[in-house]
Amino acid sequence: MRLTTNIKGLTGEVMVPGDKSISHRSIMFGAIAQGETRIKHFLKSEDCLGTLKMFQKLGVAIEEEGEEIVVHGRGFEALQSAEEPIDIGNSGTTIRLCTGLLAGTDFTTVLTGDESISRRPMNRVMLPLREMGAKITGHEGSEFPPLTIVGQPNLRGMTYKMPVASAQVKSAILLAGLQAKGTTTVIEKEKTRDHTEDMIEAFGGKILTEGKTITLEGPQKLKGQQVNVPGDISSAAFFMVAGLIVPNSRIVLKNVGLSESRTGIIDVIRQMNGKIIITDEDTVNKSGTVIVETSELRGTEIGGDLIPRLIDELPVIALLATQAKGKTIIKDAEELKVKETNRIDATASELQKMGAKVLATEDGLIIEGEQTLTASEVTSYGDHRMGMMLAIAALIVREGNVDLTEAEAVAVSYPNFFEDLHELIQK
């Protein structure tokens, strides 16, 4: 795809699509709860539709009614074998959370996915779940998908100290814990997104969070709910960065999810002297309007407990740093190596192709500021977030063309990304 370059400015309003993490979970919790769950602003992207189709294959009635997705939950016990392997596509969230969710069933499920999923580590969920009594194996004795989950109805609760900061691992254990007998306690390495904990409470379950320790008693029964999915801050991030680095820009982003566990990018933009305002905050729905304007940015350091609060935004934050005054150092982000692609190497290589000085390190990136980006051929490596970051980078290229291969990957989390971007462009 030939990307739009050399624009005069970006102005206007965007309503970004629904949050990916919350959309996945609303289907999963709707499926294991009793009664109807109605989901507003569900993200109809490839990853989340994959989760929806998966639960239909497990015998759950799910349909679209006007603007809502309706899940007719009949409780965990009503889930049925899909008989055939289920293809979850590109979604790490689906495969990891559902491995925990299905560990306590009385049937066997095989979960497969695309080429990228087949390279993503699964021991991080398989090992703790086995301690709870689960029977899960990877492909030919490895830790990689396809995963075979031989359901074990007698799971036991346990205390698990997490070796990685991962909301997917935490959520897989909590979902298994909801079916297990006794207490399940997870101690996090760093705090990660807490949508699973929020949803357990919203669906009438009991869960206690004290600092980095999360505890629940199993088994628990949940009740269907109305879920209002806020816009995805990880999708909004591309327009936040675009508005800050493209001259003559002002972008208003409506209904953006603002859970404290996800707002690291806003903290970083402020640290970098970016002009960003939050208005219309809704503390119940944890959402609000975010307004950004072209800014004089300065470099910064990003690491430690900030990393899980902006993990998926790091490629586009690296782009932001190429336009700041001074150096930016990103550290403690080795988790980026095991995403859809190795995002440390991919970010460095593609931004280097566009003339930026970006160095890949063991656990992050070092980015020189005030770089002029130039025409090039770049690839998303089939990774949605890489594709969107490169489309934003192209906007500030002044001469020549930027061609992006595997641009279609954006449909994983933001099917209308290019349409929404074009609405803002002042040529």
Ligand X SMILES: O=C(O)C1=C[C@@H](OP(=O)(O)O)[C@@H](O)[C@H](O)C1
Q: Which residue is nearest to ligand X (CB)?
A: 21
Whole-angstrom CA distances from 2 to 85, 391, 418, 425 are 37, 9, 12, 15
The DSSP bridge partners found for residue 184 are: 216
Pick from 71, 124, 66: which is nearest to 95 by CA? Answer: 124
DSSP string of 201-241, one letter each residue: HHTT---EEETTEEEEEES---B--EEEPPBPHHHHHHHHH
195 binding ligand PEP? (CB under 6 A) = no
Helix (H) or strand (E) holding 92: helix 92-102
- Which residue type, as a one-letter code, is found at position 333? A
Which CB atom, from 195 or from 385, has the smaller least distance to ligand PEP?
A: 385
Number of residues that bind ligand X (CB under 6 A): 10
Neighbours of 263 (CB within 10 A): 18
Binding to ligand X by CB under 6 A, coded x per residue (else -) over 307-346, reads ----xx----------------------x-----------
Q: Do the Cβ atoms of 47 and 90 come closer than 8 Å?
A: yes
Beta bridge partners of 187: 161, 213
Query: Is there a binding annotation on residue 40?
Result: no
CA distance 426 to 52: 37
Nearest in space to 351 (alpha carbons), one of 307, 326, 315, 301:
315
Least CB distance from residue 219 to ligand PEP, whole Å? 27
Find which of ligand PEP, ligand X, none residue 413 binds, CB within 5 to 8 Å per kind: ligand PEP
Can you read off the two tokens belonging to residue 425?
């462009």
Q: Is there binding between residue 194 and ligand PEP (CB under 6 A)?
A: no
340 contacts which partner out of ligand PEP, ligand X, none, CB within 5 to 8 A by kind? ligand PEP
Nearest CB to ligand PEP, comparing residues 28 and 155: 28
159-161 and 182-187 beta bridge pairing: parallel
Positions in 255-314 near ligand PEP (CB under 6 A): 312
Quick one: which of 45, 166, 263, 295 contacts ligand X (CB under 6 A)? Answer: 166
Q: Which of 47, 194, 312, 383 is catalytic?
A: 312
User: Is residue 93 at the binding interface for ligand PEP, with CB under 6 A as the rule?
Assistant: yes
371 is in an annotated binding site: no
Give the x/- contact pattern for ligand PEP in 14-53, rule: CB under 6 A.
Answer: ------x---------------------------------
E-strand stretches of 273-388: 275-282, 287-293, 301-302, 328-330, 358-360, 365-367, 376-379
Residues 346-405 that bind ligand PEP (CB under 6 A): 385
In the list ligand PEP, ligand X, none, the entry touching 46 (Cβ below 5 to 8 angstroms by class) is: none
323 binds ligand PEP (CB under 6 A): no
Give me the least distance between CB of 341 and ligand X, in Å please. Answer: 13
Q: Min. distance of Cβ 11 from ligand PEP in angstroms? A: 28
Our finding on whether 167 is near ligand X (CB under 6 A) is: yes
Backbone angles phi, psi at 298, to 5 degrees: -130, 150
Answer for which of 91, 152, 379, 380 binds ligand PEP (CB under 6 A) is 91
Q: Which residue is nearest to ligand PEP (CB)?
A: 92
Min dist. Cβ of residue 401 to ligand PEP (A): 27
Q: Which residue stretch of 85-93, 100-108, 319-327, 418-426 sits at the interface with ligand PEP (rule: CB under 6 A)? A: 85-93
d(CA 276, CA 358): 25
Tokens of 307: 């990393």
The interface partner of residue 166, options being ligand X, ligand PEP, none and the CB cut-off 5 to 8 Å by kind, is ligand X
Active site residue 280: no
C-alpha Rg value of the chain to the nearest Å = 21
- DSSP secondary structure string for all residues of 148-159: EEE--TT-B--E
| Nearest distance from C-beta of residue 47 to ligand PEP, angstroms | 6
What residues pair up with 72 in beta bridges, in sequence order? 36, 61
Max intra-chain CA distance, the chain: 64
**What does the binding site for ligand PEP look like in residue numbers (CB under 6 A)?**
20, 91-93, 312, 339-340, 385, 413
List the catalytic residues.
312
Can you say which residues are annotated as belonging to the binding site for phosphoenolpyruvate?
Answer: 20, 92, 120, 168, 343, 385
